[in-house]
Amino acid sequence: MAKTRATYICQDCGAVHSKWTGKCDACGAWNSLAEEVTEAALPKGLGSGRKGRAVAFFDLKGEDSKKITRNITKIDEFDRVTGGGLVPGSAILIGGDPGIGKSTLLLQAVCALAMNGVRCAYVSGEEAIDQVRLRADRLGLSHAPVELASSTNVRDIVAAMEDMKNDLKLIVIDSIQTMYVDTVESAPGTVTQVRTSAQEIIRVAKKRGICVMFVGHVTKEGQIAGPRVLEHMVDTVLYFEGDRSHQFRILRAVKNRFGPTDEIGVFEMAHEGLVQVENPSALFLAQRQADAAGSAVLAGLEGTRPVLVEVQALVAPSSMANPRRAVIGWDSGRLAMVLAVLESRCGLQFSGADIFLNIAGGIRISEPAADLAVAAALISSLSGHALPMDTVFFGEVGLAGEVRQVAQPDVRLKEAAKLGFGTAFMPSFKSEKNREMAGKAPIAIEEIGGLADLAAALASASVQKRYA
């Protein structure tokens, strides 16, 4: 048996330390080191062990290149995020806050597949079989031929996977933090256990062409708990997020070896489980107030999908020496930039005011195309004039105050027109070809070259008249 020794492993980043310290040298986290017993490292390289057998090399093009068939759940919102179905032999990690609905989502996906005749297994390390049955019952899925187990021992799970030969197509491990390998002394949930457990399961899955879906818990900071290394070991990382106080949930791909990232799937949490939301824009705009100053609609894009959301700004006089800047759902650095550009290029005064920015509905926006909508919301709140209700905005703002092109204006315009918007404020077209493409949507276009133009346009008589 290999010699074991105690080491201290950072539970955030997986860095190994020989002594305990309060702060991890590698990632800077405080109090994240935990003692774990690991097998002593191999002495210097390969040493004098057996001579290796040379690996075989192959052509890129296989002889009879087998086409992989992805397993499609027919839950569109789910399939789109996975890149068009689950790839055999791939490993997927799905993270999310406690109680957000990870088990529900995966149970629904597995049942959908099982009902299409795909052999699926669901291993719960957190719930007893009866609890999973109870959930399936509530979701109306108890008739689905899913193979259910409650276990946390990786050796047993792997044995079952091997037993099912190549019949098994998908296995869900809920969650990876509860799994343990009995040859490792650390407690379940520690970096070493999580890593070793995932490694063992992935190894068998690759060999047998089984797709594995791991549930992973997230830390307070919103990262998948324990090791970042886990994110490197899997092919796809999905996050299931959403504001607990809102009904909708967003499934987002942050890494995908077999498909595009930044695709989203939108669901609504209902009694009978997660229901797909086919028109998220309508959902996000549902509670928009008429004639409220400081509200602008962004014609955004999430992956390939247009999403309209409301950007709310409040500019209020401040009594503090350092006025507040609070941002929810957007990047505070970008807010600071848009404010600075508005002040220096348009002569607007925001210093001495508290500024709050909120993306309504609890969704998080990361694309720079939101700049123009944020600027419009800020100008509107500052002036106290509401923006016309039927207007959308998109465009990136540069430091010189210029408004820059963003991806896929045609898709954004089409979605806005579909939802009944009449005018779009957007960057100037660079070419006639672009203009032609966008011209197809039945919506009036206001081309904005710079932020100064935006301020002037919003103050102009025609815009003012529309909310008079």
Tokens of 75: 């839950």
- Give yes or no for residue 96 binding ligand ATP (CB under 6 A): yes
- Cα separation, 39 vs 52, in Å, equals 23
Q: Supply the DSSP symbol for 369.
A: G
x/- map, 299-338, ligand ATP, by CB under 6 A: ----------------------------------------
Candidate list 7, 11, 104, 108; residue touching ligand ATP; CB under 6 A = 104
- Give yes or no for residue 275 binding ligand ATP (CB under 6 A): no
Residue 112: closest CA among 168, 73, 170, 169: 73
Contacts of 391 (CB under 8 A, 6+ apart): 296, 297, 421, 422, 423, 424, 425
- Give yes or no for residue 178 binding ligand ATP (CB under 6 A): no
Residues 118-157 that bind ligand ATP (CB under 6 A): 126, 138
- Cα separation, 414 vs 101, in Å, equals 32
x/- map, 16-45, Zn ion, by CB under 5 A: --------x-xx-x----------------
Q: Rounded to the nearest whole angstrom, what is the least distance from the CB of residue 373 to Mg ion in the complex?
A: 36
**Which three-class secondary structure string do you get for 129-183?**
HHHHHHHHHHCCCCCCCCEEEECCEHHHHHHHHHHCCCCCCEEEEECHHHCECCC
- Give yes or no for residue 101 binding ligand ATP (CB under 6 A): yes
- Cα separation, 92 vs 15, in Å, equals 23
- Give yes or no for residue 191 binding Zn ion (CB under 5 A): no
x/- map, 61-100, Mg ion, by CB under 5 A: ----------------------------------------
Q: Rounded to the nearest whole angstrom, what is the least distance from the CB of residue 440 to ligand ATP in the complex?
A: 41
Which of ligand ATP, Mg ion, Zn ion, none interacts with 98 (beta carbon under 5 to 8 A by kind)? ligand ATP
Residue 75: closest CA among 102, 121, 109: 109
**Looking at beta carbons only, is 103 or 428 nearer to Mg ion?**
103
Q: Supply the DSSP symbol for 16.
A: E
Q: Rounded to the nearest whole angstrom, what is the least distance from the CB of residue 35 to Zn ion in the complex?
A: 15
Question: What CA–CA distances, in Å, run from 152 to 83, 156, 321?
Answer: 30, 8, 56
Residue 263 neighbours by CB distance under 10 Å:
22
Helix/strand number for the chain, H first, E second: 13, 21
Q: Rounded to the nearest whole angstrom, what is the least distance from the CB of residue 341 to Mg ion in the complex?
A: 45
Candidate list 32, 38, 103, 423; residue touching Mg ion; CB under 5 A = 103
Q: Rounded to the nearest whole angstrom, what is the least distance from the CB of residue 189 to ligand ATP in the complex?
A: 13
Amino acid at 374: V
- Give yes or no for residue 269 binding ligand ATP (CB under 6 A): yes
- Cα separation, 89 vs 109, in Å, equals 17
Q: Rounded to the nearest whole angstrom, what is the least distance from the CB of residue 252 to Zn ion in the complex?
A: 25
- Give yes or no for residue 178 binding Mg ion (CB under 5 A): no
**Looking at beta carbons only, is 199 or 247 nearer to ligand ATP?**
247
**Looking at beta carbons only, is 164 or 275 nearer to ligand ATP?**
275
**Looking at beta carbons only, is 268 or 447 nearer to ligand ATP?**
268
**Looking at beta carbons only, is 101 or 188 nearer to ligand ATP?**
101
E-strand ranges in 242-294 read 248-256, 264-270, 273-276
Contacts with ligand ATP by CB under 6 A lie at 96, 98-104, 126, 138, 269, 271
Contacts with Mg ion by CB under 5 A lie at 103
Contacts with Zn ion by CB under 5 A lie at 10, 12-13, 15, 24, 26-27, 29
